[in-house]
Structure 1
Amino acid sequence: MIMAQAGSIELDTTSGTPRTLLRGDWTLAHYLVLRERLANQPKPERVDLSQLGQLDTAGASLLSDWLGAERLGLLVDQASDLPAERLALLRTVSSALRDVPVVCPPPPPSTTREVLEHIGTTVSGQFLQLRALLGFLGLTLASLVQSLWRPRRWRITSLAAHIEQIGLNAIPIIALLTFMVGAVVAFLGATVLEQFGATIYTVHLVAFSFLREFGVLLTAILMAGRTASAFTAQIGAMKANEEIDAIRALGLDPMELLVLPRVLAMLICLPILTFIAMLCGIVGGGVVSTLLLDVSPTLFLNILQTDIPVQHFYIGLVKAPFFAMLIAIIGCLEGFKASGSAKSVGDHTTSSVVQSIFVVILLDALAALFFMEMGW
């Protein structure tokens, strides 16, 4: 049995003019070996195809790539010693590859173009996210209005459970955090105001900051990290387990069953937690004032009663429902956007926290500018 031999490339100088001899089998079985040999082989001036062995389309395409389709066609016309079937194969491959247009690789994009493209993609994504948020907000409000006239569809048990989870369980951490922040604000205020002999105004600093800003802002940020992430994880896990599809199959509305109890619970709990945060922050500032500034609790309360207008309390408290609505809506929306994988649930949970905190701080800054311009 004669074993097939891979094709070879030899230089023949016996006839005076050097020429390249192609021998052996140029077939698919020897494709890798032949490609390696041709990779380091320069294009010859004269080629002799008369001693080719077995040949198929793989070998013919290699010859066409090495010599060029047009030159291979000229060599085929001159190689009268080859069998007719090999001449036909080489002629067909060379003519087919000759008609293939040369595709030039696209030029690499410039750095400026990549930066602008990234900016455009980010802005477009943010616009789509804002549109989805507004649409989901409208859908939630429509479901809320429809369910108000149908007491049988109220989810009292679910609402009570979420109030306990969102409100009662969050009181310790809200109280501790705001107490410590109030103490820090009072300490820093006393340190700075002492240089001007106005340490008594530390009481005003603590009261203004917690009634207008810190009370509602710290509470909203904590709820964004604690509750919005929980909403996203819960709804995302339900969607991954196809429980939401099962709810729809039973003829129930996921908005009424999953979203409305969470939104209403947040609307109820966040103003209450804000009030607790205001009290604890002022108490923390009062403790520091008593210990460092020799301001008695009676004097501290007297200053609060006489020098701090009640409108600051209203300004801080009126922002709580808006923050609550946005935090709950973002948390639920990201949960519905999660897909069936654990990675998707984690990514959307992180996204809900980031978006909630960003929206809360942005809205608080806009509200502060508005109230300042209104003279409130």
Structure 2
Amino acid sequence: MTQGGNDTQTDPPRIAVDEGRVVLSGDLLIDGVAALSCDVDTAQGVDIKQVGRMDTAGAWFVLDLAGRIGGQGGTVPITGASDVQQLLLDTVSANMPGGDVPQAKRQSIADVIEGVGQSVHGSWRLVIEVTGFLGQVMAALATLVIHPRRLRLTSLVHHMQEVGLKAVPIVTLMAFLIGVVLAFQGSVQLRQFGAEVFVVDLIAIAVLRELGILLTAIIIAGRSGSAFTAAIGSMKMREEVDAMRTLGLDPVQILVVPRVLALIITLPILGLIADVSGLVGGAMMSWIELGVSPSVFQSRLVANINLWQFSVGIIKAPFFALIIGVIGCYEGLKVGGNAESLGRLTSTSVVVSIFLVIVADAMFSIFFALVGV
């Protein structure tokens, strides 16, 4: 009776260092392993031959101890385990974070080529889908020309206020600072040659042809394009878009067209505001840094900059607006039923819009150079 009672008693776990090995003894159970501690800096292995019973917590303690002793070099040997104990150690090791994780498979040349092919195929499918969506938008816009009463005027005015009027402060400040920077940097270089007056030409051409409308489009892509994706994506998550289709309403006509039209109308106006603000900033810095008075700045601007310099920038605006609006709404309609897809596609909308705007600007620059404008 006494022997049976002794069989069920727990033998407290003990830890010691003997001849460079950490020796564990007793029962390694969840109730006792937390209190074990020992200086194991000089140890070279773990011996559990004297361990009696061991549960999952005890096995984890042994494996963690071996890992701490091994440091960056991996785990040290664990000796003295019975078959049952070794099986438990292997099971716990396989389920520990980073335990027995197979090494990453080395990619062969064929794998790399396959990955490139899949990326190209995915990009091509995206181009086809966006082109098809652009066709739907253009068809909806053509329908408005035939049936003007289908235009949702209230929605159009609302979006013009959101993407146009409310964007005026940030566009104005951005363009003003760009003009200041151009004048300051240009003056540093032109002063070396005594050609300070040519800073007027530098500012006018850079702002009117390129930077004014390009940076405005980038700001609108980050501000309004992402807002389009988030708004339409939220409606998609709440199944409002599906409800529209069930009622026989066209989401492109109701959700996309007013937003795209609002951008097409307001972006040239914002571009004009950016041009004026950029010239004002450049004129102010030229006066401060170079002593070019506003009257001299104005006279040189009128004498050397023709209308085409301004028109080249404004001509780009509707195309940039179409890119931003179509991409923003397209990504919004792709949103699934979770918030993760909404955030991911909102970021994608901004990145793709800015990329395509820059590509379009480069193509316009090449075209105008070829025709001599």
Q: TM-score, normalised by structure 2?
A: 0.71
- The aligned counterpart of 1:264 is 261
Counting only pairs closer than 5 Å after superposition, residues 270-289 of structure 1 correspond to structure 2 as 270-289=267-286
Question: Aligned to 1:175, which of 172, 175, 178?
Answer: 172
2:301 corresponds to 1:304: yes
Question: Aligned to 1:185, which of 182, 186, 191?
Answer: 182
- The aligned counterpart of 2:52 is none
Distance 1:164 1:126 in 2: 34
Letter in 1 for 2:191: E
Question: Aligned to 2:338, which of 331, 337, 341?
Answer: 341
C-alpha displacement at 1:173, in angstroms?
A: 0.1
- The aligned counterpart of 2:155 is 158
C-alpha displacement at 1:147, in angstroms?
A: 2.5
The alignment-based identity, stated in percent, is: 47
Letter in 2 for 1:266: L
Residue aligned with 2:318, SS:
helix
C-alpha displacement at 1:366, in angstroms?
A: 1.3
2:127 corresponds to 1:130: yes
- The aligned counterpart of 1:208 is 205
Query: Tell me, which stretches of 5 or more residues in structure 1 are unaligned?
Result: 1-35, 41-107
- The aligned counterpart of 1:233 is 230
Question: Aligned to 2:292, which of 283, 292, 295?
Answer: 295
C-alpha displacement at 1:119, in angstroms?
A: 1.7
Letter in 2 for 1:355: V
- The aligned counterpart of 1:372 is 369
Counting only pairs closer than 5 Å after superposition, residues 1-376 of structure 1 correspond to structure 2 as 110-376=107-373
Aligned length: 276
Q: CA RMSD in A?
A: 1.8
Query: Tell me, which stretches of 5 or more residues in structure 2 are unaligned?
Result: 1-82, 88-104
Larger radius of gyration: 1
C-alpha displacement at 1:179, in angstroms?
A: 0.2
Letter in 1 for 2:316: K
Distance 1:268 1:358 in 2: 22
Spell out, residue by residue over 1:186-236, the C-alpha distance to the aligned partner (whole angstroms, 9 max, x if none).
100000111111111111000000110001100110011011100000000
Letter in 1 for 2:122: G
Distance 2:294 2:219 in 1: 29
C-alpha displacement at 1:109, in angstroms?
A: 5.8
Residue aligned with 2:337, SS:
coil
